[in-house]
Amino acid sequence: MKDRQQGEFRIESESDIVSARKIIRNAAVCLGFGLTDVTRIVTAASELTRNIYVHARSGVMRWRTVNNGPDVGLEVTFEDRGPGIPDLAKAMEVGFSTGSGLGMGLPGSKRLTDEMTISSEVGKGTTVVVRKWLKS
């Protein structure tokens, strides 16, 4: 049985983005994800951690193993007390691409993971939770 993964990491500086990537890479590899899935979730984590740093200056990333019957997965939460997202629907529009420098990579991160939940309140902050399940 693979080790349970769990932890918390504060995002406070730009170098924390790459540290977050390493942490999630390690967790995903330990859980037994294949290379492509590891890359997917690490990239999503990079985008979401960057969002915290760019929009809120600081926040926290939490991760843990999740179970759904026999299925095993990795859940990562990105939480900040930043400005919040005023138009969530717009932010999730696929055309809102990060390639052009706009947007927050939310639709892309959703594509890279199996589940994504966002809750955000203007002036209060944003919480994004993503999950990736091990393919049996």
Partner 1 sequence: MKRQTKTTSKSKATVLGSEDSFRMLVESVTDYAIVMLDPEGHVVSWNPGAERIKGYTQNEIVGKHFSCFYPPEAVQRGVPEQELKAAVKDGRFEDEGLRVRKDGTQFWANVVISVLRDQKGNVRGFAKVTRDLTERKQAEERIQQQSREIMELSTPVMQVWQGVVVAPLIGSLDSERTQQFMERLLDRIVETNSPVALVDIMGVPTVDTQTAQHLIETVSAVRLLGAQVVLTGVRPAIAQTLVHLGIDLSGIITRSSLSAGLLVAFEVLNLQVVSKIASR
Partner 2 sequence: MSAESISVIKLRGLLLVTVPADPDDTTVLALQEKVLEAMVQHESTGLVLDISTVQTLDSFFARTVVETVQMVSIMGGRTVLAGMRASVAVTVTQLGLSMGNALTALDVGRAIELLNAEASKELRV
Which pair of tokens denotes residue 131?
């999950």
Q: Which is nearer to partner 2, 59 or 105 (CB)?
A: 105
**Per-position b or e across 69-103, b if 16+ CB within 10 A of its CB:** eeebbbbbbbbbbbebbeeeeebbeeebebeeeeb
Nearest of 101, 109, 105, 51 to residue 80 by alpha carbon: 51
Q: Which residues bind partner 2 (CB under 8 A)?
A: 14-15, 17-18, 21-22, 25, 35-36, 38-40, 42-43, 46-47, 50, 94, 97-101, 105, 107-109, 111-112
From 15, 68, 70, 123, residue interacting with partner 1 (rule: CB under 8 A)? 70
Calpha distance 54→78 (Å, rounded): 13
Q: Which is nearer to partner 2, 39 or 119 (CB)?
A: 39
Calpha distance 62→4 (Å, rounded): 14
70 binds, among partner 1, partner 2, none (CB under 5 to 8 A by kind): partner 1
Q: Which is nearer to partner 1, 55 or 62 (CB)?
A: 62
119 secondary structure, DSSP code: E
From 15, 68, 100, 136, residue interacting with partner 1 (rule: CB under 8 A)? 136
25 binds, among partner 2, partner 1, none (CB under 5 to 8 A by kind): partner 2
Sign of CA dihedral 59, 79, 132, 104: negative
- Scanning 52-60, 64-72, 87-95, 121-129 for contacts with partner 1 by CB under 8 A, the matching segment is 64-72
